[in-house]
Structure 1
């Protein structure tokens, strides 16, 4: 099982921000980094409590979640299988998955949509198999992500996070409510048509005035970029030394800058950005740079 790990908060000097801080979850672990560690922590605890020894999960060919699950399984004495969306490929991420002992099953996109059916078809007779949803989305993951708030030693006017499934955001909002903070949570979905994320969050905790969803920073959709976003990443990293991934964190930091320029966030208000890791996703974007 995982040992307890915590991440530091770092003040970032990057114009036009006066008071920007980053919760460096990307430093938690090189392979089970950021929110991946927080999501898997209680999933593994539950699987172990149910005497399950085989994690079965889902993701794309450049999925940080797959690498994290493979590494977590290996360190915990478990086995792992992943259904990989799309045609069979070889890349840096899947190499790591294989080295950690994960079995890969490449699956066409139509069958991939029906994850529970895939699990039941392949593992109906495997009493040791434990279903782990894509990205680790689960109530256990929400519990793990809520712990971010309890680790903070200072108060902030605003907390920002990127969102794919809404699990991390649900945990953060739950943590804000548990600690009765006045902080406002800003959630930046990284895919088109992501209004549903509000509904996903509402399944885990009460939506309140401490929550705002920003739907205009997807840059074309999941894993999509624009020259402007790539330029922003280069400038931000060169000035701060902080790496961003184009899929999640870059879109969040871009949104923070834009919302501050528009006056949605005050220039002197204290902002905390949650760096959710995922930096190996840069490998899948190397042609963009």
Structure 2
């Protein structure tokens, strides 16, 4: 199935032809309040790719072909030691025979666990450089220095910023709106609200810009800011909008969906979890059959639950599940502490 117009003409030839861009959308059973007039559906971005967490897979749809086409000898990734983006992209790049190195923020815990452990399995020690918390604000400058050093040795290199913040991911992230358009047509349901989470904001920005291209000013979009602020999100949105204008070679359509930003209802600091979030992780698993990571997905779903309990939704609701079970790596001990062994 091809992308809807005008996306097929705009990005159809910029996506990896072997990678999937379609995910299921089905009724959510349990956890979130639902009525006959306000059923709740979930979009299963977790099923796009077993090796990349959720919606991040969409970034790679266009990033991977670009990196392969440019023919760089080395790809340098930036992120935290437990970054889903670094770990997911490193797997895909290595599976295609590409040389990868990473600049990662030195973790507070030196014990290998979670994505940090998986990353050390993927890459040898000479491809992993730890950046101190004090130096981290200058990580892009450090990355540029590493590129210059490699160039002097005759090795061409390119840098992928934290969270995949790169112009090359734009075609891929626009596919979320195209896929949503497909889901709506197949289900025959006009959703009143969409609920998404946001880390760096790249995937949520792709949704908003894609809806704009397709002329979808509805449904409303509620965004749980797992990291960052509304101002930071808007700044990145404007940057991607400029890149999209350049790609289209004409102004963007003026109609935009209504957007509401929400702070996490508990453990609002990025990367933090608490007893409430751990308890909700168990509740979501038992009530829905979905195993979700606490830092992003559980925090997002709990925030949506609190919002719906404060004000009952009107009309069909769609929750984007942008994570995946793989993102639970490293949380086993914390989750186990919430349930006594019987």
SS of the residue corresponding to residue 114 of structure 1 reads: helix
Structure 2: gaps spanning 5 or more residues: 1-15, 185-189, 242-253, 336-342
Distance 1:106 1:285 in 2: 22
Looking at secondary structure, tell me which structure has more helix per residue: 2
- Aligned residue for 2:206? 171
Query: Matches of 1:140 and 1:156 in 2, distance apart?
Result: 30
Superposition RMSD on alpha carbons, in Å? 2.3
Tell me the distance in 2 between the aligned counterparts of 1:37 and 1:199: 23
Matched, 1:159 2:194: yes
8 Å contact kept, 2:165–2:202:
yes
Partners of 1:196 and 1:209 in 2: CA distance: 19
TM superposition score normalised by structure 1 = 0.90
Query: What's the secondary structure of 1:287's corresponding residue?
Result: helix
Distance 1:172 1:139 in 2: 15
Which of residues 73, 79, 86 in structure 2 aligns to 1:53? 73
Q: Is the aligned partner of 1:139 residue 2:167?
A: yes
1:250 aligned partner: 298
Displacement after TM superposition at 1:219 (Å): 1.8
Determine if the alignment matches structure 1 residue 114 to structure 2 residue 114: no
Q: Deviations over 1:38-85 (max 9, x none)?
A: 112222222222221321111222111121111111122211111121
TM-score (normalised: structure 2): 0.77
Aligned mates of 1:158, 1:139 — CA distance in 2:
28
1:126-176 deviation line (CA, Å, top 9, x unaligned): 342111011112233343222112113213221111111111111000111
Kept in 2, the 8 Å contact 1:42–1:141? The answer is: yes
Kept after mapping to 2: 8 A contact 1:201/1:207: no
Shift of 1:262: 1.7
Whether the aligned pair in 1 keeps the contact of 2:297 and 2:322 (CA below 8 Å) is yes
1:53 to 1:35, Cα distance in 2 relative to 1, 3 A:
farther
Say yes or no: does 1:4 pair with 2:19.
yes
Q: Does structure 2 conserve the Cα–Cα contact (< 8 Å) formed by 1:79 and 1:101?
A: no
Q: Counterparts of 2:299 and 2:238 in 1: how far apart (Å)? A: 23
Over residues 240-287 of structure 1, what are the superposed CA-to-partner deviations in whole Å (9 max), with x where a residue is unaligned? 111111111112211221111122x61x42122221125333233333
Other structure's SS at 1:113 match? helix
Displacement of 1:189 in angstroms is 0.6
Aligned-residue offset at 1:93: 2.0
Structure 1 unmatched runs, 5+: none
Aligned to 1:67: 87
Report the structure number with the largest CA radius of gyration. 2
Aligned equivalent of 1:190, options 184, 201, 226: 226
**2:308 aligns to what?**
260
How many aligned residue pairs are there?
Answer: 287
Contact 1:39/1:144 (CA < 8 Å) preserved in 2?
Answer: yes
